[in-house]
Structures are given as C-alpha cells and as structure tokens.
Amino acid sequence: MSLDDELRRVFDDERLSVPVRPGSEWALVAAARRRKYRTGALAVTGGVLAVLTVVGGAVGLVAHEPDPAPGPAGPPPVVVSSTPPGEPAPQRPQSPRTRPAPPVQDHEPQRVVPDREPPRTTPEPTRELPSILREPGSPLTGGVEPTDPGGAPSTSPEHPMSGPATSKPAAGAPRR
C-alpha cells in the first residue's frame, strides 16, 4: 500500500471524528456575543482614554505656556507718543523729562536744548564749561545741573531732537 493510500485511509477513518456535545452551538454563540461586547467595550474605553489624553495634553500645554514678556521696550514709547503735546504724561508724573519732551520737537529746539543740556554738562562742572555757560547769563545752568545727578539718561545730548520722539528715551538711548 502506498503512502498516499495510507494517508487517505487514515483521514477517512471514522475514529477521527470528535463527538459533539448537544447544545454546543449556543455555547459558541454566547461566547461570540461576550467577545463582541468585550471588544466593543475595549474600543470605547480606548477611545475615551485617547480623547482624554489629547484634551489633557492640550490643557497642559496651554497652562504651561509662558506669559507674554512684561516689558518689551518697543510698545510703551509708541503709546506715549500719541498723547497730546500739551498734556503731561499721567503715567509718570514724577519724571520731569516727559513734560518738555513731546511739544518742542520741531518748534522750540532752543527751549528744549537747555533742559536737555544739563546731562551733557553734568560730568564737566569741574572744567571750565560752567563759566562759559554762565557768561551769556543763562539762568538754566545753575538750576538744572544739581537736579539731575543721575545723568538724565532719558535724553541723548548729542541728539536733542530724538528725545521728544519717545517719552521714555532712556530705554533706547544710545548714550551709554
């Protein structure tokens, strides 16, 4: 007998059959139903977890996002320059520089220059400059210098016209 015949004989053997328990089809139907519910529940749970993860991540990113920088040097000068020339800046009433700055930009350079000049003259009172300034009899020299010991960083002495453009010239002044 050949191997092919032997194999066919074995596979046709009645003993290869497995007895089937009655009602096993309903057991399989119930098992499939449980598996279906389990798969559905798993999918729903996974979806909810994924959505929660995405939402939580987004909220976390927004919460940890740094606040905008407190003092960018650019915006404040623009705001103050829009104020009417006659009014003193209400934000900084203590700074005397804001008062003369805006109005005299084009019309009264002579009046502004004396106010701005004390910084230029402050480091040189020991030299002969005070005497030169006092000779014409200008009353500004004596009064302004001591009032601004800090060197009045708000105005650039070499560019007196650039000072009025911004109410806070100290920030961008190239003086130092």
Task: Lay out the site mask for another protein across 46-75 (x = CB under 8 A, - = otherwise).
Answer: ------------------------------
CB of 61 to another protein, least distance (A): 39
25 versus 108: smaller Cβ distance to another protein:
25
Q: Is the CB of residue 116 less than 8 Å from the CB of residue 144?
A: no
Task: Give the separation between CA 168 and CA 98, rounded to whole angstroms.
Answer: 8
CB of 21 to another protein, least distance (A): 9
36 versus 107: smaller Cβ distance to another protein:
36
Task: Give the separation between CA 105 and CA 89, rounded to whole angstroms.
Answer: 16
Residue 7 lies near another protein (rule: CB under 8 A): yes
CB of 37 to another protein, least distance (A): 10
Residue 42 lies near another protein (rule: CB under 8 A): no
16 versus 62: smaller Cβ distance to another protein:
16
Residue with tokens 């009353």: 139
66 Cβ partners below 8 Å, 6+ apart? none
Q: How many helices (H) and strands (E) does the chain have?
A: 7, 0
Binding part of the chain for another protein, among 21-29, 66-74, 119-127, 163-171 by CB under 8 A, reads 21-29
Nearest to 97 by CA among 49, 165, 7, 167: 167
11, 12, 13, 17: CA torsion to nearest 10 = 80
Q: How many residues bind another protein (CB under 8 A)?
A: 27
Q: Is the CB of residue 44 less than 8 Å from the CB of residue 50?
A: no
Query: Interface residues with another protein (CB under 8 A)?
Result: 1-4, 6-11, 13, 15-18, 20, 24-26, 28-29, 31-33, 35-36, 39
